[in-house]
Chains A and B, each alone.
Chain A
Amino acid sequence: MSAIHPKITDVLISTFKVPAAEILPDSTMDSLEMDSLAVAEFAVIIKEKLGVDAGSDRLYKDATLADITRFIDETVGGVATANGEAAMSNPR
C-alpha cells in the first residue's frame, strides 16, 4: 500500500507545518524532523480525530507513513490485529 491516510497528511501540514512535498509513503517521523514531543502530539491528535490509540514511542517512532496508514486503516476498519501492530513496530 502506498497511499497515505488523508488525516495524516492533513495533521502534518496543518499542525506541524510539514511541506506537502516532503510527505511521502516512506517518510518517517525522523525524516520529517518531528521530534519526540511532536510525535507525542501527533499521536494524541490522531487519537482525537480517528479514535486510533497508538502509543507514540511504540508505534510511530520508526514507522513509515505507509505503515502508520495501514495501522490506522486496519484499526478503523475494526480489523486491528497483532499483524497490524507487528508491521508498525518494524524498525526501518
Chain B
Amino acid sequence: MNRPAVVVTGLGMITPAGNDTETTWHGVCSGVSRARTVPELEGCEIDFACTVSGIDLDEAVGGRTAFRMGKYVKFAVLAAQEAVADAGLDPADWDGSRVAVVVGTSSGGSAGLTEQAVALDRRGPEATSPSGILLTIPNMPAAEIAIRMRATGPSMAPCTACSSGATALSVARDLLVTGQCDIAIAGATESIVFPVAMTGFARSGAAARRDGEPARLCRPFSADRAGLVMGEGAALMVLERGTTPGLGARRREHCSRARGPPPTPTIPPARIRPAPWPGLPSRRHCATRAGGPRTSNTSTRTARRHRWAMPPKQPSSAGSIRTGRPSPLPKACWATAWGQPEPSRPG
C-alpha cells in the first residue's frame, strides 16, 4: 500500500518552561528546573510541581467561553491557536469539514470534577456549576478547538494515560493517510496539579518525595532518579499530507517569515546525564524510581515499536543533550514526521 508521507506543519505549546513553543524551547534548553512549591497544594504530601505561570489564561482564551473550560481545555485551545498560525493556516479560509481535531488527555477535568463534588457535598446542588460536565469530560479540548476553528471533521480525545499524546498523533496520522481529513490538529493536554491527584501519586509511591529543594528532584534520566515530578501544559501539532497541493509554497512563505536563528541556548552539561536507554520513554516511566514496583519497560517497548514517532534525525551540526551542544529551534523548519521527506523544499 502506498502511504502518503505525513508532515508536521505547525507547532503550539504552553508549558511550565514557556507559554509558547519558542519560549518553551529556550526554557528547556536552559536546563533550569521549573519545579516549585505550589500554594494550592499546601498541606499535601507532595506540595510541589512544575506549573504554567506568567499568563492570564482566561484573558488569553478570551471570548465568552473561558468560564466553561477547565485549565486543561484552555491550555489546548491556546496551543492549537499557536500551532495553526505556525502552519500558516487560517480557520477563516479552510474547509472545516476536512479538518480533524485529536487531542488526548490522561485525566481530563478531574480537577473540575473534584471541585464540583466538594461543592455538591458541602453546599448542595445549587452551588454546583451548570458547566460542571463541560469542566470535566475529556473530549472538551478537542471540542472547544473544533468549535472555535469551525473544524467539523473527526473530533476525539484518545485517553491512554501518559501516552495519550503519542496516541493522538498516531490516530491523526491514520485519519490523514486514509483520507478522512486533510488537516489534523493533534497532541495532548494535561492539568492535574491539584490535591486529589497529587495525593494519589504520593500514595502510589510514583511521585518524588520532597527532599530539599523541589528544583533538584526532577532528574528522570539519572541513575538515582527520585520519582515523578508533576508538570502540566499542552503541546499540539498541525499535521498534513506531504502531497497537499500548495504545501511547498506555503512552507516557503512561512520560512521566509520565520525569525532568524534564535540566540543559542546553552545546556549546562553537568546537569544532564546520558539517557540509559535509546527509546522514547514516556514522562512517567522515565522518572519512576529504577527497580521500583512501578517501573515498567512497557514504554521503552512502545517506543521501539513506534520509532516513526521519533523526531527526524538532525543534520550532524545539530546538537544533542548528550554532548551538551545546543540544538536549533525546531520551529524554524517543518519536519517530516512519517514516511518520506516531503517532495518540495524551500529554495
- Give how many A residues have a beta carbon under 8 Å from the other chain's beta carbons: 17
Contacts of A16 in B (CB 8 A): 64, 67
Contacts of A48 in B (CB 8 A): 127
Tell me whether A17 and B68 are in contact in the complex, defined as CB-CB below 8 angstroms, given that A37-B130, A41-B130, A41-B131 are known contacts: no
B68 pairs with A41, CB closer than 8 A:
yes
Which of A17, A33, A37, A53 is within 8 Å of B131, CB to CB?
A: A37
Which of B59, B66, B68, B127 is within 8 Å of A37, CB to CB?
A: B68
Q: Mark A14-40, 1 if CB is under 8 A from B, else 0.
A: 011110000000000000111101101
How many angstroms between the C-alpha atoms of A18 and B59 in the bound complex?
11
Which of B59, B126, B130 is within 8 Å of A17, CB to CB?
A: B59
Q: How far is the CB of A6 from chain B (nearest CB, A)?
A: 19
How many angstroms between the C-alpha atoms of A47 and B128 in the bound complex?
11
Q: How far is the CB of B127 from chain A (nearest CB, A)?
A: 7
Contacts of A37 in B (CB 8 A): 68, 130-131, 134
Is A52 among interface residues, defined by CB-CB distance under 8 A?
no
Contacts of B68 in A (CB 8 A): 37-38, 41
Contacts of A35 in B (CB 8 A): 64
Closest to A56 in B: B130
B127 pairs with A17, CB closer than 8 A:
no
A41 pairs with B126, CB closer than 8 A:
no
Contacts of A41 in B (CB 8 A): 67-68, 129-131
Is A44 among interface residues, defined by CB-CB distance under 8 A?
yes
Tell me whether A44 and B130 are in contact in the complex, defined as CB-CB below 8 angstroms, given that A17-B58, A17-B59 are known contacts: yes
Closest to A40 in B: B130
Contacts of B62 in A (CB 8 A): 17
Is B63 among interface residues, defined by CB-CB distance under 8 A?
yes
How many angstroms between the C-alpha atoms of A44 and B58 in the bound complex?
19
Within 8 A of A (CB), among B120-135: 126-131, 134
How many angstroms between the C-alpha atoms of A38 and B130 in the bound complex?
9
Closest to A16 in B: B64
Contacts of A32 in B (CB 8 A): 64
Q: How far is the CB of B86 from chain A (nearest CB, A)?
A: 25
A17 pairs with B129, CB closer than 8 A:
no
Closest to B62 in A: A17
How many angstroms between the C-alpha atoms of A18 and B58 in the bound complex?
12
Contacts of A33 in B (CB 8 A): 64
A44 pairs with B67, CB closer than 8 A:
no
Query: Which 6 pairs across A and B sit closest by C-beta, in order of nearness?
Result: A40-B130, A15-B67, A16-B64, A41-B130, A38-B64, A41-B67
Which residues does B use to contact A, with CB under 8 Å? 58-59, 62-64, 66-68, 126-131, 134
A17-B59, A37-B130 given; name 13 further pairs at CB < 8 Å.
A16-B67, A32-B64, A33-B64, A35-B64, A37-B131, A37-B134, A41-B67, A41-B129, A41-B130, A44-B126, A44-B129, A44-B130, A48-B127
Query: Could you show 24 A-B contacts with beta carbons less than 8 Å apart?
Result: A16-B64, A16-B67, A17-B58, A17-B59, A17-B62, A17-B64, A17-B66, A18-B64, A32-B64, A33-B64, A34-B64, A38-B67, A38-B68, A40-B130, A41-B68, A41-B129, A44-B126, A44-B127, A44-B128, A44-B129, A44-B130, A47-B126, A48-B127, A56-B130
